[in-house]
Amino acid sequence: MATVRLSFSPAPVHVRTARLVGVAVARRAGVREDLLDEVRLAIGEACTRAVALHRQYGLPDPVLVEMSDGAAYAVRVVDRAPIEASIGLTALPPDELANESLTDEALTTGVGFALLAGFVEDLQVRPVDEGIGTEVRMVWPVGR
């Protein structure tokens, strides 16, 4: 099993780098070509969420992305925001999406979670084992 770790300052400009690395490692791990767009989008959404949480809480700590290939391709995106920030991760129904009272942040969060849940069959959002923070864990099959 090979592991690639990337940690980056919580700035939007680095999310693209995380996407590119995540897809490159996925391709090398043997994830099917037709799944790579979904891998790219899901890693981007998980990192965008982590960056937003770090900025919301003024946390300078880096966001960690860990990619492992083995029997499957597993990606962990770890933030260091308080756990309660993760509560409320729910997809929004269509009639609420364009609701005037919905804030831009709530909309983006809801849409981001809908994308994660929609594109990743094997998705877990859980507290990190040690310290403060949440881990978004995504797994894709490899074709070997």
Residue in 26, 41, 65, 75 binding another protein, rule: CB under 8 A: 41
Output phi, psi for 72, to 5 deg: -145, 175
- What is the bridge-based pairing of β-strands 63-69 and 122-127? unpaired
Q: Pick the closer one to another protein by CB: 68 or 108.
A: 108
At position 81, the amino acid (one-letter code) is: A
Q: Pick the closer one to another protein by CB: 1 or 98.
A: 98
- The two tokens of residue 31 are 């994830």
Residue in 48, 65, 75, 79 binding another protein, rule: CB under 8 A: 48
Q: Which positions from 61 to 90 touch another protein by CB under 8 A, shown as an x/- string?
A: ------------------------------
* Residue 123 in the binding site for another protein (CB under 8 A): no
How long a stretch of residues is the chain?
144
**SS3 track for 43-107:** HHHHHHHHHHHHHHCCCCCCEEEEEEECCEEEEEEEECCCHHHHCCCCCCCHHHHCCCCCCHHHH
Residue in 3, 12, 24, 88 binding another protein, rule: CB under 8 A: 12
Judged by the rule CB under 8 A, the positions of this chain that interact with another protein are 12-13, 15-16, 19, 37, 40-41, 44-45, 48, 51-52, 91-94, 97-98, 100, 104, 107-109, 111-112, 114-115, 118-119
